[in-house]
Amino acid sequence: MENTDLASQIEGARAYDSLFVPALFGQWASVLSQKLDLSSKLSVLDVACGTGILAREIFRSLEKSGRVVGLDPNLGMLAVAEEHESRIEWKQGVAESLPFDSNVFDMVLCQFGLMFFEDSQAAIKEFLRVLKPNGVLTLAVWDSIDNIPGYQTEHEIIKNIAGEDAAHAVAVPFNMGNKTKLQDLLVKAGATNVKVETHRGVARFPDISTMVNAELRGWLPIMGIQLDESVIQEILLEAESEMSKYTSIEKTVEFEITAHIATATN
């Protein structure tokens, strides 16, 4: 059973890696790394590392002379991360209880993971605990869904057809979009020198169906919501019409997506 579960996790991680990393996450790894002073021999922890796009970017920037650790609760994600780069330390664990001693990392990074933690304040306190004195914490979270046109349109379609519960689940990744609340969360957790900036990127999906199906058949079941096939087909049909304004001549989907990047020290 355990081998079957792991195989399923790896399959899901590969699907995530092939769709969401190029569509959303890959571009932000370079944005975060460019904001950091990546001198040699630094020790860096990437929390909620997924398949490791940010950890690999940092590893390359350090010219392989520092220590980079990627941590994630999902063994499938870590297995795929290991396939990409075996010289990085990949470790299973959760943000709220980091499996490390205090004062061991020069930097702690978390790219688009904070929104999903059970206790975000406890997680930030853990980030600060494992940082060395004057260590740097850098977090990236999505802006509010109301400020991201493609996802706002998709959200409205799902809300109108599938109801409030499904719409709420779709909006979860954007629940840290208020800059003031994000800054207050960091300060209350004990962070100092907190700074939050908004950066702009572009979401790119192969087509409307791929983007929306990822929500309906991938994300919503993870959130405990199973839609009837008839409802799924109704949403997909409406999306093809309402989201056509985001498609190119080649039928790819492109729209502006904004994220907040917070930096702080301990």
* Conformational region of residue 63, where left means phi above 0, alpha means psi within -120 to 50, and beta covers everything else: left
Q: Is the pLDDT of residue 39 over 80?
A: no
CA atoms within 13 A on the CB side of 64: 3
Q: Is the pLDDT of residue 230 over 60?
A: yes
Q: With bands split at pLDDT 50, 70 and 90, how would you rate the model's confidence at 71? A: very high
Q: Is the pLDDT of residue 172 over 50?
A: yes
**What does the pLDDT average to over 163-170?**
97
What per-residue confidence (pLDDT) applies to 120?
Answer: 97
- Among 11-20, 56-65, 124-133, 143-152, the range scoring the smallest mean pLDDT is 56-65
Judge contact between 201 and 255, C-beta under 8 A: no
**What does the pLDDT average to over 81-98?**
97
Q: Report the share of the chain in percent with pLDDT over 70.
A: 98
**What does the pLDDT average to over 119-142?**
97
**What does the pLDDT average to over 37-60?**
93
Q: With bands split at pLDDT 50, 70 and 90, how would you rate the model's confidence at 241? A: very high
Q: Is the pLDDT of residue 98 over 50?
A: yes
Host H or E run for residue 265: strand 253-265
Q: Is the pLDDT of residue 125 over 90?
A: yes
Judge contact between 187 and 14, C-beta under 8 A: no
Q: Is the pLDDT of residue 1 over 50?
A: no
**What does the pLDDT average to over 9-37?**
94
Q: Is the pLDDT of residue 40 over 80?
A: no
What per-residue confidence (pLDDT) applies to 2?
Answer: 55
Q: With bands split at pLDDT 50, 70 and 90, how would you rate the model's confidence at 41? A: confident
Helix extents (H) in the chain:
2-20, 26-34, 53-61, 75-84, 120-130, 149-162, 164-171, 179-188, 208-213, 220-222, 229-242
